[in-house]
Every structure is written in C-alpha cells, then in structure tokens.
Amino acid sequence: MIKLYDYELSGNCYKLRLLMNILGIQFESTSVDFYPGLQHKSVWFLEINPLGQLPVLDDGGMVLRDAQAILVYLASKYDKSKKWYPTDNPALLGMMAQWMAFADGITATSSAARLHDALFYDFDIDACRLGAHRLFRILDEHLWFGEKQGWDWICTESHPTIADIACFPYVILSEEGGVSRQDYPAIRRWADRVKRIPGFTVMPGVFPAGPGHRSYG
C-alpha cells in the first residue's frame, strides 16, 4: 500500500490526500511531527528525504518528494480516465506545468504568511502578504476571463486537473496568514467548484461546500 509521510496541517500534504481521495487510491498516512517536534529534520526522516521536507510518498519502494511531482506521478499512474493529467495533450501539459509552478509561488507567499502567523516562522510578513496578493490577482483575472469563455477550471473547460489541486490548498488557507480573498470573486467561485468535486475531503481550516450548486465529476 502507498505510504504518505504526512502532516495534517500541511497544505502540500493535503493536496496529495485530496487527489488520492478523489481518485479512490488507498494509502496509509504516517504522521510526521512537523511542529513542534521538527521530526522532518530528524536523522531518520533525513534518510528518507535529505531535504527535510514534507510530503514524501512511498509507493512500493518508489519514493518521491515534492508535492507537485507526486501529483504528476499519482495522476499518471492511477487516473484511468487520463483527465487529471492528460498525457496525450502537449499544449495542456505545458499549461498545467505553468500553473503548477505558479502554485509553488503561492506556497512561497501565502503559505509562508500562514507559517509566520501560526507557527511563528521568522518571515517578512509584509512581503509574504504582498506577494500572495499579487499572485491572487493574477489567478483571479485568469479565472474570470476563463469563466467568460465557459471554463470552470484553471486549465480546462470541463474537467479539473492536478493544476487545480496544486493551487487550491494555500489559496483556501490564505486567511490563516492574514491574506483575505474578499477581493477575488473568481477565486472564491473556483474554490467552491473544487469543493464540489466528488471525493473532495477537508482538512483543519478547509470546510465543505454549502448547499445549492451542482457538483463536478
């Protein structure tokens, strides 16, 4: 069975749990005490990931670090529909890679602000928040123009991809770092659509969608 080295409050770990739940992949979660235990810097964990970062996935001895890389691996191997990572569409793959790199920027800003406020990391909080808002404006504009063309998702019209999963956690958790989503209506609508994907699961700070709208397959 797949083993996920996991921390419940990590958005990067959550995006893997979310995709595996949506795809119906069975996995075993091995908790790593990121805070306050700092187990991700311990000798035993550094033997698994010398970078000392979560998450890490072990699929029968295939060990991968980096959340975005793991999303690619999981979708490529386990999504029989090939809709989450459509390997036969080079243009779409390029667009997805672009937005997954963008998700790393969200982690470096919105997630960093959350780490500052919740776990007392010594970051420049003003720079983190300003950076997050800059990226949120870009994403909101992209989603808004997409909606005008009938698109529901970051990269495609009719079906979400792992780019949506990559961007979602640290957008939806942004308020915990003092980054409001109030001025980003297209982001709020998109986040609601993500919450209506069958198999969607929550984490602390992420709540299910309210009633009254269609779900997405």
Mean of pLDDT values over 59-87: 97
Q: Which CATH class is domain 2-78?
A: alpha beta
Q: Looking at beta carbons, which pairs linking 85-91 to residues 24 or more positions away fall under 8 Å? A: 85/161, 85/162, 86/161
Is the predicted pLDDT of residue 216 greater than 60, yes or no?
A: no
Residue position matching structure tokens 């072990």: 58
Distance CA 184, CA 187 (A): 5
Of the pLDDT bands very low, low, confident and very high (cuts 50, 70, 90), residue 202 is very high
Q: What is the mean pLDDT of residues 185-213?
A: 93
Location of each CATH 1.20.1050.10 domain in the chain: 90-195
Write the pLDDT tens digit of every residue in 23-56: 999 999 999 999 888 899 999 999 999 999 999 9
168-206 burial string, b = 16+ CB within 10 Å, else e?
A: bbbbbbbebbebebeebebbeebbebbbebeebeebeeb
Q: Which residue has the tokens 């029968």?
A: 60
What is the pLDDT, as a whole number, of residue 137? 98
The predicted model scores a pTM of: 0.95
| Upper half-sphere CA count for residue 93 (Cβ side, 13 Å) | 10
pLDDT at 213 over 70: no
pLDDT of res. 196: 97
Q: Does domain 90-195 have CATH number 3.10.20.30?
A: no
The answer to whether the beta carbons of residues 198 and 216 sit under 8 Å apart is: yes
Q: pLDDT (tens digit, 9 = 90+) per residue, 138-195?
A: 999 999 999 999 999 999 988 999 999 999 999 999 999 999 999 999 999 999 999 9
CA dist 166 and 71 (Å) reads 8
- Across 11-92, the runs of DSSP E, i.e. the strands, are 27-31, 56-59, 62-65
pLDDT of 210 reads 83
- For residues 82-104, give the mean pLDDT: 96
CA atoms within 13 A on the CB side of 4: 25
**Looking at this protein, which amino acid is placed at residue 197?**
I
- Write down the pLDDT at residue 38: 86
Residue 62: per-residue pLDDT = 96
Kindly tell me the burial class for residue 114, based on how many C-beta atoms sit within 10 Å of its own C-beta (0-12, 13-18, 19 or more). buried
Which part of the chain has CATH 3.40.30.10?
A: 2-78
pLDDT digits (tens, 9 = 90+) for 95-120: 999 999 999 999 999 999 999 999 99
